[in-house]
């Protein structure tokens, strides 16, 4: 997939002026959603000032929507930027990943584990 613009509007959970939200097709956890820009923007750094401002509100709205049907104990919110950062679809999207106690043995370090040997920074 080159762009998320190929996704039909019937898959939208909700949308705003600049973004739409869908359930991730390959979820990390129950309730995992993607926030996707309506305009083709490569990554977070390519968003306009107005889009970056609205993104915070959409993250909060997505959390509220998830909590209508799930009871997560925490969240990871993540954006992969460029190939070296793990991005595979070069169209801005933000992961909102609900986390649950017990979903991994030791969640400390969270996203720091994208480079496993850097994850355990605690003495």
pLDDT in tens, 4-32: 989 999 999 999 999 999 999 999 999 99
The C-alpha atoms of residue 114 and residue 119 are separated, in whole angstroms, by: 7
pLDDT digits (tens, 9 = 90+) for 89-108: 999 999 999 999 998 888 88
* Proportion of the chain above pLDDT 70, given as a percent: 91
Q: HSE, CB side, 13 Å, CA atoms: give it for residue 121.
A: 10
The model's pTM: 0.91
Q: CATH classification of 4-119, choosing from 3.20.10.10, 3.30.428.10, 3.30.1330.40, 3.40.50.1220?
A: 3.30.428.10
């Amino acid at each position: 997939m080159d762009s998320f613009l190929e996704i039909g509007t019937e898959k939208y959970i909700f949308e705003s002026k600049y973004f739409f939200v869908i359930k991730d097709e390959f979820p990390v956890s129950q309730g995992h959603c993607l926030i996707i820009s309506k305009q083709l923007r490569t990554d977070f750094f390519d968003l306009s000032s107005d889009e970056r401002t609205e993104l915070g509100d959409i993250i909060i709205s997505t959390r509220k929507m998830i909590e209508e049907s799930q009871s997560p104990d925490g969240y990871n919110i993540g954006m992969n930027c460029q190939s070296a950062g793990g991005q595979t679809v070069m169209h801005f999207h933000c992961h909102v990943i609900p986390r649950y106690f017990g979903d991994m043995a030791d969640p400390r370090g969270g996203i720091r584990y994208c480079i496993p040997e850097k994850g355990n920074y605690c003495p």
